[in-house]
A and B are shown apart, each in its own frame.
Chain A
Amino acid sequence: MARKVYIIDDDDISIYLTSLVLEDAGFADEIHTYSSADDALAALSFTDTAPLPDVILLDLNMPVKSGWDFLEVLRPYEEKLKGKLDVFILTSSIAASDKNLSRNYPLVRGFLHKPLDEESLNYMKQTRNSRV
């Protein structure tokens, strides 16, 4: 299970739905939702002491800063965040090209299709457990 989860998505219904599923499954202690990448970045603190989320569910197709742009901002902190923060992409896209592109980001631990379902939840859990 996760202590703190961020959901970053510009689609309000998607946020509602994803939160509902996570809550229902008791996946996290805290769920924070952001409707843009910039809002999420503002909340993230990269100092050693500040508490980080364990999991980020990231949408790709967003105005101004896309999910990819968000991952690029995290690039310089990759080494520091690895093992502490797992990013799962949660997108409505079913284009294979996006999945391939996600392999370039080591922080990305999974590529999930909306809507978030049991299968995806199990995958997230397994992925997180396998590290321990």
Chain B
Amino acid sequence: MKVNFTPPEELILTPDFYSSIVRHASELITVLNCEGIYQYISDSIATELGYTPEDLLGTYVFDLIHPDDVPSLEQELYNLTAGDTKQVNLPPVRFKAKNDSWRWLSCVATNMLDNPHVQGIVTNSRDITTQMEASRQRKESQAYYKALFFNNPDLVFTMSTSGEVQACNDAVVKLSGYTREEFPKSHFAEFVLPDNREETFKAFSTALTGQPCNFETCIRHRDGSKRYLSAALVPVVLEGRVLAIQCIAKDSTNEKEANLLVNAQAKKLHKILEGMSEGFFALDKEWRYSFGNTVFANFLNRDLEDLMDLCIWEEYPMLEGTLFKQKCHEVAETKKAVQFKEQFCELSAFLQFTISPFEGGILIAFSDITAQVIAQEELRKLSLVASKTTNGVIITNGQLEIEWVNEAFCNVTGYSMEEVVGKRPSDILTSADTDPREILWVREQLAKGIPMRKELRSYKKNGNLIWADVTISPISNEQGQIVKHIYIHTDITERKLDQEQLLKTTEHLYHQNQDLQQFNYIVSHNLRAPVANLVGLSSVLQKLDHNSNRFAKGLQNLETSARRLDDVISDLNKILAVRSSDLQAAHEIVLLSEVATEVAQSLQHLLTQANGRIVLDLKEDDLLWANRAFVYSILHNLISNAIKYKSSHRDLLIEVNSVRKDNSLQLRVTDNGSGMDLDLVRPHLFQLYKRFHTGPDGKGIGLYLVKMQMNAIGGKIEVESRPEAGTTFTLQFELPAYGPQGLHN
């Protein structure tokens, strides 16, 4: 504000006028002589310091000044009197008031010693005690602030409202791993780990609204490691506006890490307890549940939370009188762990307990061994069966070595358990006579890991043969590896003998039946054909004139029919002869070349008639163990067939030769005759009364007899033939009829 000050015209500037102004001005005006003695004091001294001007006139000014301020004031005044400067602003000094309190005065001193009207030093003073007090207080709070800020052991820093870190104390610098010089001027978010940023920004936003807040965060040390902070954000508010945000944070890394460790350990412990297959729970000293794992909760089918703090005996009155309750009390008293088993009929369970003491009560671990107990009982029964059964039982390990045999096995084989343990079943049950293929087969089956069953020859300790029905079952472990084999070795010798007898009987019956069928055929066809002719002719002849040609022809046919009937009967006789011959008893050593020569001679006239020749290529030692008559009959039949069915296109050639092959003798009869289409005739070739040529010769019995006689000798016959190319019959005489060392029986 500008004031236009115009002195009144009638104002006369008299000495009284000045004196009045000086005396009543609010400023304290004094005049000191050159010794420092008060010469003049304005009236305002009364309001400022409580004195009257008279109180102080003639007083030495330094007597009223605070001793601490005296030296500097003396210097100032000296400078003023001795130097060129006529006026100085004195530093504030403390002045003793009338009531003995110290008042701060601000003085301007003016050297007016030279002024003849004054002749002294004029001081203009103002009481600035209030200001000085305020200033002191400000300094003090600044000191407090500084102390709080810079020397705080906690982290303290100030951020602008945009989040820039403006100032921080040494703790911040130190914790973040920087030196004061290196400490970056940056946004706080750069220190916060990404995972914690969201929460940190949230807290910062809260602080920006003027609300202080606490939160946990984690910052990055310069070396990359983590530092956990427990922080408080305090907004600095002035006149309702947030100027800045202050943060005070505590390094909680150790605490946090310890916490994490404790948590991790607790989790680990929990996992261990949860991972246990055993049920586990704890009771406190008042028998209340204080802990339980899931197995335990599942066993009781209860919720763990519900059970906690419930007294076990109240919750499960059925435990009254159990061994379990008795043992719980025992452990609580003796502080010694116990182990025991108990069956709970109400729960239909068999449990095994371990109860141990701990400072808060007792710990109970239990496992449900019901299945195990049942299995044990089962095992006990099974082992009873295995040891007492009448079948032999062998148990081997994975290497097929005997671990155990039962009584029955020992009884049947004559071995004792001690003798066989550690040996392989194949070592003790076989002999040199055992077919190696049989052993190989069993090994192969075992290698496949599948159960097998076979009737095997088995030998007792004394070498006697027994027939055994052997079942071998592999037993695998959970990984599928075979760890054991179980052999059931049943003596079936008697059954086997019965079976063999039965087979023989069956075979005999089969042949009998075949014969019967054969006879049926012969009777219905071949025997009846001539009979039918005989019947027909006899009836016709009766009607004919006895002297006619027709009668003579009829009579001739009657005779032919009768002869044919006789032939069939004679065939039947031959067949019966082969059938009824004792197959083995009639055998003798037969020199093949001798028999073949005889046959060739007997058929020589037919050969000559047919314009044919026969070549015998047989060795001197071609010997057979056979029925000689059969060998003769076979060769006779084959050679006469060859003559009968010669080709009309060429001269007949019959070759008889022998080949030795693998301890057997092959005899071949080959012709170049009319041959046969084997595709058509093969099914009927060796059957009785089957003929393959329409000519007059042949009754269809020759090859049937050959086949029967070969069977009786124990040989095989095969044929190869093509129409108009010839026929080869191959007779194979197998072992044991012929051996490399000659004949044996």
A residues touching B (Cβ–Cβ < 8 Å)? 10-11, 13-14, 16-18, 20-21, 24, 35-36, 38, 61-64, 92-95, 113-117
B694 touches A94 (CB 8 A): no
B694 touches A17 (CB 8 A): no
Residue of A nearest to B527 (CB): A92
Near A by CB (< 8 A), chain B positions 535-565 give 535-537, 539-540, 543, 550, 553-554, 557, 560-561
CB of B693 within 8 A of chain A?
yes
CB of B691 within 8 A of chain A?
yes
Give the shortest distance, in Å, between B406 (CB) and chain A (any CB).
58
CB of B464 within 8 A of chain A?
no
Which of the residues A24, A35, A63, A114 comes within 8 Å of B532, measured between beta carbons? A114
A-chain residues with CB within 8 Å of residue B694 when the two chains form the complex: 10, 35-36, 38, 62-64
Give the shortest distance, in Å, between B556 (CB) and chain A (any CB).
9
Q: A61 vs B699: C-alpha distance in the bound complex, in angstroms?
A: 12
CB of B533 within 8 A of chain A?
yes
Which of the residues A61, A62, A92, A117 comes within 8 Å of B539, measured between beta carbons? A117
B residues touching A (Cβ–Cβ < 8 Å)? 520-521, 524-525, 528-529, 531-533, 535-537, 539-540, 543, 550, 553-554, 557, 560-561, 689-694, 698, 700
A-B contacts, 15 listed (Cβ < 8 Å): A13-B537, A13-B560, A14-B532, A16-B554, A17-B536, A63-B692, A63-B694, A64-B691, A64-B693, A64-B694, A92-B532, A95-B524, A114-B532, A115-B537, A116-B536
The residue among B528, B532, B537, B554 with the most chain A CB atoms within 10 A of its own CB is B532
Q: A61 vs B528: C-alpha distance in the bound complex, in angstroms?
A: 12
Which of the residues B520, B528, B537, B543 comes within 8 Å of A92, measured between beta carbons? B528
The residue among A11, A21, A113, A115 with the most chain B CB atoms within 10 A of its own CB is A115
Residue of B nearest to A23 (CB): B550
B692 touches A64 (CB 8 A): yes
Which of the residues A10, A35, A93, A114 comes within 8 Å of B536, measured between beta carbons? A114
A63 touches B560 (CB 8 A): no
A113 touches B532 (CB 8 A): yes
B-chain residues with CB within 8 Å of residue A62 when the two chains form the complex: 694
A-chain residues with CB within 8 Å of residue B532 when the two chains form the complex: 14, 92, 113-115
A-chain residues with CB within 8 Å of residue B524 when the two chains form the complex: 92-95
B-chain residues with CB within 8 Å of residue A16 when the two chains form the complex: 553-554, 557
Q: A11 vs B550: C-alpha distance in the bound complex, in angstroms?
A: 18
Q: A3 vs B540: C-alpha distance in the bound complex, in angstroms?
A: 23
Q: A94 vs B690: C-alpha distance in the bound complex, in angstroms?
A: 18
A63 touches B691 (CB 8 A): yes
B691 touches A117 (CB 8 A): no
B525 touches A93 (CB 8 A): yes
Q: A113 vs B561: C-alpha distance in the bound complex, in angstroms?
A: 17
Q: A92 vs B561: C-alpha distance in the bound complex, in angstroms?
A: 13
B540 touches A63 (CB 8 A): no
Give the shortest distance, in Å, between B527 (CB) and chain A (any CB).
9
Residue of A nearest to B696 (CB): A12
Q: A38 vs B533: C-alpha distance in the bound complex, in angstroms?
A: 24
Residue of A nearest to B677 (CB): A64
Given A13-B560, A93-B524, A95-B524, are A115 and B533 neighbors across the interface (CB < 8 Å)? yes
Q: A62 vs B533: C-alpha distance in the bound complex, in angstroms?
A: 16
Q: A36 vs B698: C-alpha distance in the bound complex, in angstroms?
A: 15
B-chain residues with CB within 8 Å of residue A10 when the two chains form the complex: 694
A-chain residues with CB within 8 Å of residue B528 when the two chains form the complex: 92-94, 114
Residue of A nearest to B543 (CB): A24
A-chain residues with CB within 8 Å of residue B693 when the two chains form the complex: 63-64
Q: A61 vs B700: C-alpha distance in the bound complex, in angstroms?
A: 12
A-chain residues with CB within 8 Å of residue B540 when the two chains form the complex: 17, 20-21, 24
Give the shortest distance, in Å, between B567 (CB) and chain A (any CB).
13
Q: A34 vs B242: C-alpha distance in the bound complex, in angstroms?
A: 139
Give the shortest distance, in Å, between A50 (CB) and chain B (any CB).
25
B529 touches A11 (CB 8 A): yes
B-chain residues with CB within 8 Å of residue A11 when the two chains form the complex: 529, 533
B-chain residues with CB within 8 Å of residue A24 when the two chains form the complex: 540, 543
Give the shortest distance, in Å, between A59 (CB) and chain B (any CB).
9
